[in-house]
Amino acid sequence: KYAGENEARFDHDPDTLESLGLLIEESRTNIVVYSEEFNSNWWGKSGGGNPGTTVTANQEVAPDGTTTADYIDYTTATAASQNVEVSYDNTPDGKIYTGSVWIKGTAGQTFNLTLDANGVSGSAQQFTLNGDWQRFSITREYPAGSPAAYFRFGVRNLGHPSTGTATQVYAWGAQIELGSFPTSYIPTSGSTVTRSPD
């Protein structure tokens, strides 16, 4: 649910639905330029093959009630890495980033998120889908000397020992922010966006 400017927001536990009280957040910037348009050239599609990982725009109702969620098909990808991905920082040395994205897919299938860097082992996690919209996130502190940080989500991530089974999913609302935990979604369309502190 979205709240208007200067309207109080109340947080809830996503599993128990227990009220967590008034939501008060610090300022954060979503450095993803196209947070809902995974078909744009800003997002890379790895996977080899022809056509490889494919994205079809606006195929499903997103968590905000609009038909803006994209359909991602990994079935024609043949390479070791089958992802939608972006490079977001050329010098991430010592920084802590959190990447997040909303995913909807077949219940019981698995899906991977990775915060990676060229020449440096990746930080990866695998998640299990439940058939509904879920927001997944991953946090990483980059060591000194880390070049070109990447955010990847897909079924087989570089540096991850497991291969996901979710070959077709819907995705929406990607966010990469400087910090050790995810904050509420900040939509973007063509530029980064900063949310003022509450």
Q: Confirm if 153 and 113 have CB atoms less than 8 A apart.
A: yes
pLDDT truncated to tens, each residue of the chain (198 aa)?
A: 666 667 787 888 777 888 888 887 899 999 999 999 999 999 998 876 666 789 999 999 999 999 999 999 988 666 667 889 999 999 999 999 999 999 999 999 998 898 988 767 668 889 999 999 999 999 999 988 888 999 999 887 555 556 788 889 999 999 999 999 999 999 999 999 999 888
Nearest to 141 by CA among 162, 155, 120: 120
The residue type of 14 is: P
Tell whether pTM > 0.85.
Answer: yes
> CA-to-CA distance for 181 and 138, rounded, in angstroms?
8
Look at the block and give the residue holding tokens 């056509």.
Answer: 51
When computed from its CA atoms, the radius of gyration of the chain, rounded to whole angstroms, is 16
- The encoded tokens of residue 105 equal 């897919």
The per-residue pLDDT for 99 is 97
Q: Confirm if 98 and 138 have CB atoms less than 8 A apart.
A: yes
Distance between start and end Cα atoms, the chain = 17
Q: DSSP character for 34?
A: B
**pLDDT tens profile 88-103:** 999 999 999 999 999 9
Give residue 65's region: left, alpha or beta (phi > 0; psi -120 to 50).
left
The per-residue pLDDT for 5 is 67
> CA-to-CA distance for 4 and 104, rounded, in angstroms?
26
**pLDDT tens profile 59-71:** 999 999 999 999 9
The per-residue pLDDT for 2 is 61
In 27-109, which ranges are E strands?
28-30, 44-45, 54-60, 69-73, 82-89, 96-104
Q: DSSP character for 98?
A: E
The per-residue pLDDT for 74 is 85
